[in-house]
Chain A
């Protein structure tokens, strides 16, 4: 079975850990996240009969991505950058953060995810689309589970496509 390391990052309070837990079957202790700033968990997904093991590193929220230790990004195949659609402060530095992540992972997959869509309506999303510095890849709700599996399956498909 193929294993890939995936980083889940973004500002604090955007719902990374909730996304992670919505998707994952097993839950590892929360205390690690506050102790060393990262929590590692695993999810095996099935894509067209092929099994892929995602080792997901949930990084504690930082206002600026360059505060995350560089070594955490080493050996990573994909980065999921999460922002909160209802909090401008979590996406106003999006361009700068993604530039930084591209330097950390020049040839890997970087997915931009807007979370907490259960709190807004379609008009809000249309307005956000006009104002956000970079387009998102997917909008999710960790609370209702909307698009959460799709997010990870999409990442998994891209990772499998890279290996074949």
Chain B
């Protein structure tokens, strides 16, 4: 019985060995192929070498097909985005546009100056007149000529109590112009700007918009606002500030504005002082 069992065990062991040998023979090629594939996957250079042609082909197909397939969708998305983000868009392009416009205007002014210079070379009288102005005022000749070309004038003058924004005097005759409200809003804007940006007790001195400039001169308890149209030269600007100082010295003191009441008599003086003569 024991002999029979031993023979049977020997036979099974032989069968296993034969099966393993058979498996090795049959799968050798597959295993080698798998190993080669594993080697490629483990080494990026080899993988890249194999994959690149395929990817390039796919990519080129994608490039060709994408515009056809997705053009309409992308256009729709961009159109919607632009429609919903007009302000963002303006915010983004404004600095670039602003620079371009500024550059263009500077260039045009440069051309204008050159043209004026050219013309002035032939006008002896203007040459003498301008040279004498340059001599007496110290202002550059091109500024004087430009100033002559672009009319500028004082439109209105306001004297406003500094913190309350109450109007003390005004040259305004136009009943549709609410100068009380202008005085209040000017003071609010001035306070807002000074609160927001001031670091060293500085005060707002000028507000420019379109063809207007609002020149501000602050004193202890009141301030002046002079509304000017046109381009004023630095000499004219200095002259206006000088006029404000002169008027203040002659007509105003702390008590004049202390009550914050509008003064018709001061307004008449203001009008006569600022508006009776054109800008120098």
CB neighbours of B36 from chain A (8 A): none
Interface: B143 (CB within 8 A):
no
A75 is contacted by which of B161, B167, B178, B192 (Cβ under 8 Å)? B161
B260 CB contacts on chain A under 8 angstroms: 3-5, 75
Flag if A36 contacts B192 (CB, 8 Å): yes
- B177 CB to nearest chain A CB (Å): 13
Flag if A71 contacts B194 (CB, 8 Å): yes
Q: Are A42 and B188 in contact (CB under 8 A)?
A: no
Interface segment out of the listed B21-29, B179-187, B266-274: B179-187
Asked if B262 is at the interface (CB within 8 A of a chain A CB), the reply is yes
Known A40-B181, A55-B180: A3·B192 in contact at CB below 8 Å: no
Enumerate B156-207 residues with CB–CB distance to A below 8 Å: 161-167, 178, 180-181, 184-185, 188-189, 191-192, 194-195
B261 within 8 A of A: yes
Convert A36-55 into 0s and 1s, putting 1 for each residue whose CB lies closer than 8 angstroms to a CB of B.
11101110000000000101
A75 touches B188 (CB 8 A): no
Please report whether the interface of chain A is mostly helix, strand, loop or mixed according to DSSP. mixed
Partner of B184, one of A2, A57, A70, A77: A57
Chain A 16-68 residues near chain B, CB threshold 8 A: 26, 28, 32, 36-38, 40-42, 53, 55, 57
Question: Is A136 part of the binding interface, using a Cβ–Cβ cutoff of 8 Å?
Answer: no
Q: How far is the CB of B136 from chain A (nearest CB, A)?
A: 42
Q: Which residues of A contact B189 (CB under 8 A)?
A: 36
| A37 and B164 contact, CB distance less than 8 A | no
Rounded to whole Å, the gap between the CB of B140 and the closest CB of chain A is: 37
Taking a contact as CB atoms under 8 Å apart, the answer to whether B164 and A40 are in contact is: no
> In the complex the two chains form, is B164's CB within 8 Å of A5's CB?
yes
| Max count, chain A CB within 10 A of own CB: residue among B162, B167, B185 | B185
Distance (Å) between the CB of A53 and the closest chain B CB?
A: 7
A31–B1 CA distance with the chains assembled, in angstroms: 113
Q: How far apart are the CA atoms of A4 and B262 in the complex, in Å? A: 11
Q: Is the CB of B166 within 8 A of A3?
A: yes
Task: Using C-beta atoms within 8 Å of the partner chain, give the interface range for chain B.
Answer: 20 to 34
| A89 CA to B75 CA, complexed, in Å | 48
Contact between chains at B167 and A3 (CB < 8 Å): yes
Main secondary structure of the interface of B (DSSP, over half): mixed
- Chain B neighbourhood of A124, CB < 8 A: none
Most chain B CB within 10 A, of A4, A40, A57, is at: A40
How long is the Cα–Cα vector from A134 to B167 in the complex, in angstroms? 35
Taking the closest CB of chain B, its distance from the CB of A74, in whole angstroms, is 3
CB distance from A51 to the nearest CB of B (A): 12
Per-residue 0/1 for A63-96: is the Cβ within 8 Å of any B Cβ (1 yes, 0 no)? 0000001111011110000000000000000000
Q: B221 — nearest CB in chain A belongs to which residue? A: A75
Contact assessment for A32 and B185 in the assembled complex, using a CB-CB cutoff below 8 Å: yes
A106 to chain B, nearest CB (A): 15
For the complex, what is the distance from the CA of A70 to the CA of B181, rounded to whole Å? 20
* A1 at the B interface (CB under 8 A): yes
Which residue in chain A gives the minimum CB-CB distance to B161? A75
Residue of A nearest to B260 (CB): A3
Contacts of B259 in A (CB 8 A): 2
When the two chains form the complex, which single residue of A26, A36, A37 contacts B178, counting CB atoms closer than 8 Å? Answer: A26
Report A-chain residues with C-beta under 8 Å of the C-beta of B195: 69-71
Please state if A28 and B164 are interface contacts (CB–CB under 8 Å): no
The one of B188, B261, B262 in contact with A40, judged by C-beta atoms closer than 8 angstroms, is B188
Complexed CA–CA distance, A32 and B189 (Å) = 10
The residue of chain A having its C-beta at the shortest distance from the C-beta of B167 within the complex is: A3
* Nearest-neighbor residue (CB-CB) of A2 within chain B: B261
Decide: B181 and A41 in contact? CB cutoff 8 A.
yes
How far, in angstroms, from A4 to B163 measured CA to CA in the complex?
12
Q: Chain A: residues with CB nearer than 8 A to chain B?
A: 1-5, 26, 28, 32, 36-38, 40-42, 53, 55, 57, 69-72, 74-77
